[in-house]
Amino acid sequence: MSHDADVLIVGAGLAGACAAFVLSQTHDVHVLEAEEPGAGASGAAAGLVNPFMGRRARPVWRLREALEAVSTLLTWSGASALFPQRGVLRPVVADEQATAFREAAAEHPDLATWLPPSDAHGRFSGVATEQGALWVPQGGAIDVRAMVRALLEAAQEHDAVVESQAPVLYWRETPSAAVVEVDRGDDTEELRADRVLLALGQGYPRFPELRRLGLDGVKGQTVRVQRPSALNASFPPLSGRGYVVPDDDTLVLGSNYDNNFDNLTPDPDATDYIQEKTARMVPDLAGAEVIGERAGVRVKHTDTNKPLLGPLPDRTRLWTFTALGSKGLLTAPLLAQALPTYLEDPASIPDPVSLFGR
Ligand SMILES: Cc1cc2nc3c(=O)[nH]c(=O)nc-3n(C[C@H](O)[C@H](O)[C@H](O)COP(=O)(O)OP(=O)(O)OC[C@H]3O[C@@H](n4cnc5c(N)ncnc54)[C@H](O)[C@@H]3O)c2cc1C
């Protein structure tokens, strides 16, 4: 039986969209999305490109390549305007951080600069920087939903098919094909391809084969507020007590971490918590008008806290690309870039993220 595509991609979040764009250059691609592109965690993300994460500002995995991959993918898809690279400011919010931040700046002088309190205050007056700050000029923020849409549109220009409202219910593989069953309302349809790439993000819990990979989900929320007039348009993205991401005349504030959730509705208590937390970093945020909230689930691998890519255990044609955790922007473009090579040669997937042979 003939195939419907070379690669069927299930899920149109950041992982699926990056994969669809890259693979559409060389393969027949068909994307199946249960709701609409960016409906999952990608639609809730604040969009921080934060190369030095966590309290100790540790560099993310393959930092330089990851940063370059974001820009390359956006330029290649004609969407470079989505990442103006305005920098990220990391104000010190705990005593021991100043030492860690100075060390990060000393180890990566081309990527990070330590700002003593007087310098930090002079440059970023609306931010509490009494203990100094780390300035990361190549960081910034991206509207993740807009990025997903732009990548899918660019993929469609290369003849990819992108379907919304097309939930996948089931998958299997035969010696000659990977097969998915799509919910078509009153009926179901089987589609066949050489490979299926499961990029389900927060949709994994329904599928035992994905749950068995050791995935875990942490709910989080972002809150959009009107930008207070005291904070001018050049206000940078911030990561310290939560994060603050400017977007025109609004700011996106994040986030909370909820391990015990039973629904994905935004929670008013979480909104209060996020506003209070970020206002300790940017006092003008206290009482800022809330204009929207979004919640999503960060999916991570419980042991490695790194993405997972490759064929599912005991499968060859059924692959997954998942567990992007809190840093999808610095992992999805990096791994998607090399997907054509990885599909040809799964042994070339880097060990820390590879499912091949596990
Ligand atoms: C509150 C919050 C803030 C965040 N902030 C940042 C940030 O500032 N910077 C950063 O880099 N990362 C951030 N992240 C993490 C980032 O959002 C994720 O790493 C990334 O978006 C995950 O993308 P994904 O494609 O794997 O998953 P998702 O975005 O969840 O996409 C999966 C898609 O698959 C679809 N799907 C699910 N099941 C099926 C099915 N059966 N059939 C068909 N389609 C299906 C879903 O509808 C969804 O569209 C944040 C996450 C959260 C929750």
Q: Could you tell me the CATH number of the domain that includes residue 210?
A: 3.50.50.60
pLDDT value at position 121? 92
Q: Tell whether ligand 1 has an atom less than 6 A from the beta carbon of residue 296.
A: yes
My answer on whether 156 and 294 are in the same domain is no
Residue 295 CA, ligand 1 centroid: distance in Å: 10
Residue 125 lies in a domain: no
pLDDT value at position 45? 97
From the alpha carbon of 37, which atom of ligand 1 is closest?
49
**Residues 135-164: what's their mean pLDDT?**
98
The single residue listed with the structure tokens 């199946």 is 32
Residue 291 lies in a domain: yes
The CATH number that applies at residue 226 is 3.30.9.10
Residue 58 lies in a domain: no
Residue 316 CA, ligand 1 centroid: distance in Å: 25
Q: Tell whether ligand 1 has an atom less than 6 A from the beta carbon of residue 44.
A: yes
My answer on whether 244 and 307 are in the same domain is no
pLDDT value at position 1? 62
My answer on whether 158 and 189 are in the same domain is yes
**Residues 300-323: what's their mean pLDDT?**
97
In the chain, DSSP finds a helix count (H) and a strand count (E) of 10, 20
Average pLDDT, the chain: 96
My answer on whether 20 and 162 are in the same domain is yes
pLDDT value at position 203? 98
My answer on whether 293 and 267 are in the same domain is yes
Whether 199 and 34 have beta carbons less than 8 Å apart is answered as no
Return the DSSP state at 289: P
Residue 25: how many other CB atoms lie within 10 Å: 13
**Residues 302-324: what's their mean pLDDT?**
97
Residue 243 has pLDDT above 90, yes or no: yes
**Residues 176-204: what's their mean pLDDT?**
98
Residue 203 CA, ligand 1 centroid: distance in Å: 9
pLDDT value at position 325? 97
Residue 167 CA, ligand 1 centroid: distance in Å: 16
Residue 294 has pLDDT above 90, yes or no: yes
- Which residue spans within the chain are E strands per DSSP? 5-10, 29-32, 48-49, 52-53, 58-59, 88-91, 113-115, 133-136, 140-141, 161-163, 168-173, 178-183, 188-198, 215-226, 238-240, 242-247, 250-254, 290-301, 308-311, 318-322
Which of these three, 301, 316, 338, is where a domain ends?
Answer: 301
What is the domain extent for residue 280? 216-301
Per-residue confidence at 241, pLDDT binned at 50, 70, 90? Answer: very high
Residue 76 lies in a domain: no
Q: 84-98, 196-210, 307-321: lowest mean pLDDT where?
A: 84-98
Return the DSSP state at 116: -
Return the DSSP state at 354: B
pLDDT value at position 357? 79
* pLDDT tens readout for residues 123-143: 998 999 999 999 999 999 999
My answer on whether 207 and 322 are in the same domain is yes
**Residue to substitute in 30, 42, 149 for testing ligand 1 pocket (most ligand atoms within 8 angstroms of CB):** 42
My answer on whether 292 and 179 are in the same domain is no
My answer on whether 168 and 155 are in the same domain is yes
Q: Tell whether ligand 1 has an atom less than 6 A from the beta carbon of residue 11.
A: yes
From the alpha carbon of 167, which atom of ligand 1 is closest?
42
pLDDT value at position 85? 80
My answer on whether 157 and 260 are in the same domain is no
Residue 205 lies in a domain: yes
From the alpha carbon of 38, which atom of ligand 1 is closest?
49
Structure token digits, residue 150: 């732009």
pTM above 0.85, yes or no: yes
Q: Could you tell me the CA-to-CA distances from 107 to 59, 69, 101, 103 in Å, in that order?
A: 10, 22, 10, 6
pLDDT value at position 233? 77
Residue 14 CA, ligand 1 centroid: distance in Å: 6
Which of these three, 279, 301, 323, is where a domain ends?
Answer: 301
Residue 111 lies in a domain: no
Of 222, 264, 214, which Cα lies nearest the Cα of 245? 222
My answer on whether 198 and 311 are in the same domain is yes
Which of these three, 281, 301, 321, is where a domain ends?
Answer: 301
* pLDDT tens readout for residues 22-50: 999 999 999 999 999 999 999 999 999 99
pLDDT value at position 235? 87
**Residues 192-196: what's their mean pLDDT?**
98
Residue 101 lies in a domain: no
Residue 108 lies in a domain: no
My answer on whether 229 and 174 are in the same domain is no
My answer on whether 182 and 163 are in the same domain is yes
Count how many domains the chain has: 2
Give the three-state DSSP class for 92: coil
Instruction: Using DSSP bridges, classify how beta strands 161-163 and 113-115 pair: parallel, antiparallel or unpaired.
Output: unpaired
Q: 192-196, 278-282, 337-341, 354-358: lowest mean pLDDT where?
A: 354-358
